[in-house]
Structure 1
Amino acid sequence: MSATITTAETTAARTTGRQTATATTTVTKPVVAYWLYFNAGLVYAIVVVGGLTRLTESGLSITEWNVISGMKPPRSEQEWRDEFEKYKQFPEYKILNRHMTLDEFKNIFYWEWSHRMIGRFIGAAFILPGLYFASRGYMTRRVAKQTFGITCMLGFQGFMGWYMVKSGLNQALMEEPGAVPRVSQYRLTAHLATAFMIYAATIFVAADILRQHKIATGTYPKETAAMLNNPVLHRFRRCGHIMGSIIFLTAMTGGLVAGLDAGLIYNEFPFMGEGIVPPKSELWSDSYVKSTDKGKWRNLLENPTTVQFDHRTMAESTAVLTTALWAYSRRLPLPKNVRMAMNTMMGAVVIQVTLGISTLIYMVPIELAAAHQAGALALLTSNFWLIHALRKVPL
């Protein structure tokens, strides 16, 4: 009788084990999420380095795009002279940097080279481990498709980077009176937007992998799941998504400010000149209107005064709305993780506003400006945390 019971228990244990193994194969292994978080950190780093490359005016120092041979920087003095001669053929040197020495050129060259090398490393860090995880069955088909999509976005981001640089190498700039050699603010903002989208996609896929693994293994807290499924959170959840869109748009107006060097005018706060709003003649100047335009809308994208005013307005709106959302959250029954995300988002807004004002009134010093750009992505990250933490969980 005892032997019969033991045999039955063993059979049941084996059956349970097989069921657990089957369940495990239907979810992605957590190691894939940690790998994606690592890559998200690399994307964050390259955004910061990209900002420093722009702030140090180094982005146009490498005038060619060579995926393989471009990995090796000049080594001999002759190679450095050859690279410098290439740079001398383009408007930035001819208009702004005629007195630049070879040593000064080396400094800006290494900034841009480092930026490109981090981009190559990110590509390898996505592709090689991704192929390994997919081949070993560590990913579900859905996650494999998602990571493949992110990898394609990375390839597009590389193209956008070079497309942006090309706009600053245009020889037509030599023919425009008073032209400043710099990349197109449109292409710079598009390049920044693509980086943010890659970062967002990586963060959300990673976070979803860990959540699905907890649900599949029965380790997700049921009390938290019940709180998240409370209908009272529907409006708050929707507001979190809206705030994400507003923060993203604010960051993109910051990209236009960077592309036009609009932060170098009106370096006071909260005023712009004699009032909070600059004169209408400056906001809607005819200087930026083309003969084919219907109205003066181009000021919104090309007039530094208008672009700075728009960014200020968006930033102030983001701060006020985030504060309102935080105050609203205090009245709701939120899980601990959600409340932490909301509090972090509120703190990130305070820091970001402080950095933005400081960057402006101190005439855009490199350290503050780089911190302000990093702060934008940090604020967006806190919003991603809030959005994902608020997602409903099947009971």
Structure 2
Amino acid sequence: MTSDDKKHVRRWYWSGAILIFVMVVVGGITRLTGSGLSMVDWNPIMGAIPPLSDAQWEETFEQYKQFPEYQQINYNMELPEFKTIFFWEYIHRLIGRILGLVFIVPFAWFVIKKKIDSKNIKRGIILFTLGLSQGFLGWFMVMSGLVDIPEVSHYRLAAHLLLAFTIVGFCIWYALDLTPSANPREETGKELRWWLYGLMGLLVIQIIYGAFVANMQAGHVYNTFPKMYEHWAPPELWVIEPIILNFFDNIVTVQWIHRVFGTLIGLIAIAIWIRSFILDTTFFTKKWSLSLLAIVLAQYLIGVFTLVFHVPIWLGVLHQAMALVLFGFIVAFLKTLNQTDSLGSHEIN
């Protein structure tokens, strides 16, 4: 691959990451506005065309009326209100279709014109497979809310969100792999990498529990901080039998775990920043560590405000978006250390 080829493929990877970020933001709005079950069918091709005439809107609304969300929750909803919730779910799915085109068309061009090497062809196939899986998983999630209870499975929502984060992580890693590195060699980066791996592990769990909190509306209970009213550990933590189910189905326990892991992530970010000085890392690595700490603290504060203000839509969406920013930043930090550390070079193939 020539330098121009690498530049174009790199931009392609970054465009995928940016579009998925937009899709995650719109997905957050869709969830918080209760719009996710407004489209009751999945038609990847013809579904790209929304209702255009009054008759089509009436037909689409009648289809919605056949499902539990309308029958149990929105039975007083009129057509103008339905159009509003339909809009957000439609936009969410439309971005997914655009993302598919943005991926497939350039990839085909790169391959036909021989502008991409075998390693990046394999990476493209990985991204295509993950993207296709994400589409099916999104519909699988929606289906869970179209049966008896008008609410999607929080397990499926967590899987859907985590896969979106994973695809962004791959896009960022692959893009940076095609970026010439002008950073100084970091001889002490090995320990920081292990700290970052630990932080990433905690963040993955935090993302899962963030999805649980969002879908179970656990952010609408115990809206005080730092205590949950007068308790550090409220009495409802272990009320479900068997106890293991509290970790997944108890809204109080889910929120409490989300708080605890958020605090742990903050403490580890502080530790990474301190270790970057103790290990006498380069100025470049110290800047990355400080930036990581700033993003973590900003996300922590956004989470606190989201909770105490009873999850306003804009704060809930911002909190989800910042989680993806943090995830992407950690991936980039790890890639940077891998590129500059003479002790090793782990690579996602």
In structure 2, what is the equivalent of residue 148 of structure 1? 125
Q: Output the CA distance in 2 between the equivalents of 1:128 and 1:33.
A: 15
Relative to 1, partners in 2 of residues 1:342 and 1:74: Cα closer, same or farther, differing over 3 Å?
same
Relative to 1, partners in 2 of residues 1:336 and 1:119: Cα closer, same or farther, differing over 3 Å?
farther
Match of 1:92 among 66, 69, 73: 69
- Alignment of 1:234 onto 2:234: no
Q: Output the CA distance in 1 between the equivalents of 2:87 and 2:57.
A: 12
Residues 168-213 of structure 1, C-alpha deviation per residue, up to 9 Å, x if partnerless? 111x33xxxxxxx210000000000110111101110110112xxx
Q: Output the CA distance in 2 between the equivalents of 1:72 and 1:28.
A: 35
- Alignment of 1:283 onto 2:237: yes
Structure 1 runs not aligned, ≥5 long: 1-23, 174-180, 215-219, 290-294
For the 8 Å contact 2:276–2:285, the answer to whether it is kept is no
Q: Output the CA distance in 2 between the equivalents of 1:358 and 1:329.
A: 30
Size of the aligned set, in residue pairs, is: 342
Which shifted more, 195-204 or 377-386?
377-386
In structure 1, what is the equivalent of residue 347 of structure 2? none
Pairing of 1:31-110 with structure 2 (within 5 A)? 31-110=8-87
For the 8 Å contact 1:254–1:311, the answer to whether it is kept is yes
Counterpart amino acid of 2:175? A
For the 8 Å contact 2:23–2:92, the answer to whether it is kept is yes
Which shifted more, 186-195 or 322-331?
322-331
Q: Output the CA distance in 1 between the equivalents of 2:281 and 2:107.
A: 36
Pairing of 1:330-349 with structure 2 (within 5 A)? 330-349=277-296
For the 8 Å contact 2:158–2:207, the answer to whether it is kept is no
Q: TM-score, structure 2 length as denominator?
A: 0.94
Residues 202-238 of structure 1, C-alpha deviation per residue, up to 9 Å, x if partnerless? 110110112xxx3xxxxx54x71xx32x2x3321121
Residues 230-269 of structure 1, C-alpha deviation per residue, up to 9 Å, x if partnerless? 2x33211211122122122211110111111111111111
Match of 1:249 among 205, 208, 221: 205
**Displacement of 1:58 after TM fit?**
0.1
For the 8 Å contact 2:14–2:171, the answer to whether it is kept is yes
Relative to 1, partners in 2 of residues 1:28 and 1:391: Cα closer, same or farther, differing over 3 Å?
farther
Instruction: Please tell me whether Structure 1 or Structure 2 has the larger radius of gyration of its CA atoms.
Output: 1
Residues 309-346 of structure 1, C-alpha deviation per residue, up to 9 Å, x if partnerless? 11011101111111111111123343444333222211
For the 8 Å contact 2:193–2:337, the answer to whether it is kept is yes
Q: Output the CA distance in 2 between the equivalents of 1:259 and 1:237.
A: 33
Relative to 1, partners in 2 of residues 1:304 and 1:386: Cα closer, same or farther, differing over 3 Å?
same
Q: TM-score, structure 1 length as denominator?
A: 0.83
User: Sequence identity of aligned pairs in percent?
Assistant: 37
Pairing of 1:213-224 with structure 2 (within 5 A)? 214=180, 220-221=181-182, 224=184
In structure 2, what is the equivalent of residue 359 of structure 1? 306
Relative to 1, partners in 2 of residues 1:357 and 1:44: Cα closer, same or farther, differing over 3 Å?
same
Match of 2:276 among 325, 329, 333: 329
For the 8 Å contact 2:273–2:286, the answer to whether it is kept is no
Residues 38-79 of structure 1, C-alpha deviation per residue, up to 9 Å, x if partnerless? 110001110111011000000000000001111111111111
For the 8 Å contact 1:65–1:162, the answer to whether it is kept is yes
Pairing of 1:267-306 with structure 2 (within 5 A)? 267-279=223-235, 282-286=236-240, 289=241, 295-306=242-253
**Displacement of 1:308 after TM fit?**
0.5
Counterpart amino acid of 2:190? H
Residues 283-326 of structure 1, C-alpha deviation per residue, up to 9 Å, x if partnerless? 1113xx3xxxxx42011011101110110111011111111111
For the 8 Å contact 2:190–2:341, the answer to whether it is kept is no
For the 8 Å contact 1:284–1:299, the answer to whether it is kept is yes
Relative to 1, partners in 2 of residues 1:322 and 1:300: Cα closer, same or farther, differing over 3 Å?
same
For the 8 Å contact 1:27–1:139, the answer to whether it is kept is no
In structure 1, what is the equivalent of residue 164 of structure 2? 195
Match of 1:378 among 315, 325, 329: 325
Relative to 1, partners in 2 of residues 1:335 and 1:28: Cα closer, same or farther, differing over 3 Å?
farther
Counterpart amino acid of 2:226? P
- Alignment of 1:206 onto 2:183: no
Q: Output the CA distance in 2 between the equivalents of 1:195 and 1:392.
A: 25
**Displacement of 1:139 after TM fit?**
1.6
In structure 1, what is the equivalent of residue 345 of structure 2? none
Q: Output the CA distance in 2 between the equivalents of 1:154 and 1:188.
A: 16
Q: Output the CA distance in 1 between the equivalents of 2:197 and 2:5.
A: 26
Structure 2 runs not aligned, ≥5 long: 343-349
In structure 2, what is the equivalent of residue 17 of structure 1? none
Counterpart amino acid of 1:187? R
Which one has more relative contact order, counting CA pairs under 8 Å at least 6 apart?
Answer: 2
For the 8 Å contact 1:28–1:140, the answer to whether it is kept is no
Relative to 1, partners in 2 of residues 1:55 and 1:165: Cα closer, same or farther, differing over 3 Å?
same
In structure 1, what is the equivalent of residue 145 of structure 2? 168
In structure 2, what is the equivalent of residue 9 of structure 1? none
